Amino acid sequence: MNNVIVRDYDIPANDFTAAGEASSSVRKILVQLGVSPYVVKRTSIAMYEAEINAVIHGHGGKAHVEIDGSKVYIRISDEGPGIPDLELAMQEGYSTAPDSIREMGFGAGMGLSNIKKHSDIMKIDTEVNKGTTVHITVFFNAI
């Protein structure tokens, strides 16, 4: 497979019902391509957590996905408040999510560490009052 599959999605703000549709769509593409279930699951978790983050913290955003023969690259960007202390935000259990989000089963402070754990390369660009972009790469032949 030499072709690159490119997809772009809008992540609607404050729409918790729709959150996950982009991840679900990418998951479907990977399954159709015959990517291993392990890689499909890692990619799904990483992208879904990032998508949920954009809904919770970033007033929605955009997802850009590129799939080639060896990897999937996902970029989730929002124009939310940004992350003032990235090191702190990366710590498991640290969360700034409001109670309303916790009631939905999220906001446990596991999102960013889950993304890191399930991706091969994770990079975060963030600027306070400008927004946050999370870059996720998962290789298909990862151990």
Partner 1 sequence: MRIAEIAELLKAEICTKDPSQDLDILSACSADLMSDVMAFSKENAMLLTGLVNPQVVRTAEMMDIKVVVFVRGKKPQPPMIELAEEKGIVLLSTDYPLFVASGKLYSKGIRGRGE
Could you list the residues that contact partner 1 (CB under 8 A)? 16-17, 19-20, 23-24, 27, 37, 41, 44-45, 48-49, 52, 92, 104-111, 113-114, 117
**Of 16 and 73, which has the nearer Cβ to partner 1?**
16
Distance (Å, rounded) from C-alpha 84 to C-alpha 127? 7
- The nearest distance, CB 53 to partner 1, in angstroms, is 11
111-132: b or e for each residue (b if 16 or more CB lie within 10 Å)? bbbbbeebbbebebebeeeebb
**Of 4 and 36, which has the nearer Cβ to partner 1?**
36
Amino acid at 101: I
**Of 94 and 129, which has the nearer Cβ to partner 1?**
94
Distance (Å, rounded) from C-alpha 134 to C-alpha 37? 23
Longest dimension (CA), the chain: 46
**Of 3 and 17, which has the nearer Cβ to partner 1?**
17
- The nearest distance, CB 45 to partner 1, in angstroms, is 5
- The nearest distance, CB 129 to partner 1, in angstroms, is 26
- The nearest distance, CB 14 to partner 1, in angstroms, is 14
The helix, strand and coil proportions of the chain, stated in percent and rounded to the nearest 5, come to 35, 25, 40
